Amino acid sequence: MDKIKMTTPLVEMDGDEMTRIIWQDIKDILICPYVDLQSEYYDLGLVKRNETDDQITIDAANATKKYGVAVKCATITPNAARMPEYNLKQMWKSPNGTIRAILDGTVFRSPILVKGITPYIPTWTKPICIARHAYGDVYKNTEMRVEGGSKAELCVTKPDGSEERSLIFDFKSDGVIQGIHNLDKSIGSFARSCFNYALDQKIDVWFATKDTISKTYDHRFKDIFAEIFEAEYKDKFEEAGIEFFYTLIDDAVARVIRSEGGYMWACKNYDGDVMSDMIATAFGSLAMMTSVLVSPDGVYEFEAAHGTVQRHYYKHLKGEETSTNSVATIFAWTGALRKRGELDKIPELCDFADKLEAATIKTIEDGVMTGDLYLISTLENKKKVNTKDFLNAVNERLAESMA
Ligand code: NAP
Ligand code: MG
């Protein structure tokens, strides 16, 4: 069989611990036998980040801007315990944060559904894609405790030096205050990323805020989404047969629970933080969550939503058998290869991505799965396999469909 040719390299970002092991295995077992893989390789493993003073992360993000599509392995975000473990020069920032800042992107998370893993909400038969605005609000706040007898005001000093003031509260007793902000530009980028990704996936967009209570702040989000939609996306959505729908956050929460899934739920920063954890848990397993960072100008970076699975890695290092779920990492690869295929007009590459995804799902639905799924699957003929045997089982099915 001739291997599928690529015309533009994929930006490949390697990572850490158990996912780094899986990364190599996925390439060796599932990708390279079928695809003449062209990638520009960046090692974002902590050792290399430390060696290069994290320049490698910046280079990888810039390469992603240049080529348009990247696939990333999970990486360690160092904490105090990692300083001696990796002999670090400093506590390097989260690579995901660095990359997101350079690409100005939004992260979309969607679960992979398989028979035998039933969501806690039984009506959810299609994935719910969560989009979280990752700028401002309470994550960049200023807070103070206030002593009784104090008066708190919002004060803005304008470019001409004049001041605009507004009373927050006249404190008769002790209390607290908080100042938060957001930027029209960031909200606009978020809106465009959501609309672009919805068009790409052919799914409706739901967006919700608390604009009835927050009549200026949250209302600005609502207005910016509406303005950008009307001016740039209305026709494209009509053509694609999808909808943009705005509602109050309370109403959105109720509708999500009653829905069958199959749409994007765009959330403000805090709503996205907590709701993405709820959605991930309700769909069954963090190891079955995909994640893609999309910039407003249409650059894509695919990854798994989970981390480096540290506990399994230490077992692996001791020579013990592991049963780590590679599904979300496989789907990061298929997402990236499919996108590359679409951009470069290589239908065989898109077809390969479809077949690899189908083979992965079929393996689990045939009852062959890793320990995390084995614990929750309702299939009767289920069998727990180790990390590598799962990949080999996927390859048996993939080879059949590629033949
Ligand atoms: P984690 O790696 O997601 O693992 C948390 C636990 O979830 C694991 O211990 C495991 O449970 C289970 N799990 C997650 N993924 C799994 C998989 N693929 N297969 C089977 N079980 C899986 O999160 P963490 O332990 O909090 O973080 C470890 C490292 O990952 C940290 O250094 C963190 O900075 C990094 N991290 C990176 C990213 C990223 O790059 N996107 C995201 C999150 C965290 P059991 O141990 O009970 O089996
Ligand atoms: Mg959270």
CA distance 261 to 125: 6
Residues, Cβ < 5 Å to ion ligand 2: 273, 277
Kindly state whether residue 66 falls inside one of the protein's structural domains: yes
Q: pLDDT (tens digit, 0 to 9) for every residue of the chain, 403 residues total?
A: 799 999 999 999 999 999 999 999 999 999 999 999 999 999 999 999 999 999 999 999 999 999 999 999 999 999 999 999 999 999 998 898 899 888 888 889 999 999 999 899 989 999 999 999 988 888 888 999 999 999 999 999 999 999 999 999 999 999 999 999 999 999 999 999 999 999 999 999 999 999 999 999 999 999 999 999 999 999 999 999 999 999 999 999 999 999 999 999 999 999 988 898 889 889 888 889 999 999 888 899 999 999 999 999 999 999 999 999 999 999 999 999 999 999 999 999 999 999 999 999 999 999 999 999 999 999 999 999 999 999 999 999 999 999 8
Binning the chain into helix, strand and coil, the percentages to the nearest 5 are 45, 20, 30
Q: Where a domain ends, among 179, 202, 232?
A: 179
For residue 382, count other CB atoms closer than 10 A to its CB: 16
Kindly state whether residue 78 falls inside one of the protein's structural domains: yes
Kindly state whether residue 266 falls inside one of the protein's structural domains: yes
Residues 241 and 307 both lie in one domain: no
Q: Rounded to the nearest 10 degrees, how much is the dihedral formed by the CA atoms of 236, 237, 241, 242? A: 160
Mutational test site, ligand 1, from 301, 306, 370, max ligand atoms within 8 Å of CB = 306
> What pLDDT does residue 135 have?
85
Residue ranges lining ligand 1, Cβ < 6 Å: 74-77, 96, 286-287, 303, 306-311, 324-325, 372
- Ligand 1 atom nearest residue 291's Cα: 41
Kindly state whether residue 302 falls inside one of the protein's structural domains: yes
Helix (H, G, I), strand (E, B) or coil at 124: coil
Mutational test site, ligand 1, from 77, 117, 308, 323, max ligand atoms within 8 Å of CB = 308
Backbone dihedral region for residue 392 (phi beyond 0: left; psi -120 to 50: alpha; all else: beta): alpha
- Ligand 1 atom nearest residue 73's Cα: 40
What is the span of the domain harbouring residue 376?
1-113+297-403
Residues 147 and 238 both lie in one domain: no
Question: Is the separation of the CB atoms in 98 and 56 below 8 Å?
Answer: no
Residues 160 and 240 both lie in one domain: no
Residues 109 and 36 both lie in one domain: yes
Residues 211 and 266 both lie in one domain: yes
Kindly state whether residue 289 falls inside one of the protein's structural domains: no
> What pLDDT does residue 181 have?
95
Kindly state whether residue 169 falls inside one of the protein's structural domains: yes
E strand or H helix that includes residue 166: strand 163-170
Q: Where a domain ends, among 150, 179, 208?
A: 179
Q: Where a domain ends, among 283, 307, 328?
A: 283
Output the residue whose Cα is nearest ligand 1's atom 6. Answer: 309
Question: What residue type is 92 in one-letter code?
Answer: W
Output the residue whose Cα is nearest ligand 1's atom 42. Answer: 307
Residues 232 and 132 both lie in one domain: yes
- Return the structure tokens found at 232: 């740039």
Kindly state whether residue 292 falls inside one of the protein's structural domains: no
Kindly state whether residue 230 falls inside one of the protein's structural domains: yes
Residues 388 and 333 both lie in one domain: yes
Q: Of the ligands numbered here, which is closest to the C-alpha atom of 288?
A: 1
Residues 65 and 163 both lie in one domain: no
Output the residue whose Cα is nearest ligand 1's atom 5. Answer: 309
Residues 214 and 175 both lie in one domain: no
Centroid of ligand 2 to alpha carbon of 270 (angstroms): 8
- Ligand 1 atom nearest residue 82's Cα: 32
Residues 232 and 379 both lie in one domain: no
Q: What is the CATH number of the domain that holds 238?
A: 3.40.718.10
H helices of 27-91, in order, are: 46-51, 55-67, 82-86
Residues 104 and 137 both lie in one domain: no
Centroid of ligand 1 to alpha carbon of 198 (angstroms): 28
CA distance 204 to 126: 13
Q: Of the ligands numbered here, which is closest to the C-alpha atom of 107?
A: 1
The DSSP string of 268-301 is -HHHHHHHHHHHHHHHS-GGGEEEEEE-TT--EE
Centroid of ligand 2 to alpha carbon of 174 (angstroms): 30
Residues 253 and 129 both lie in one domain: yes
Indicate the number of domains in the chain: 3
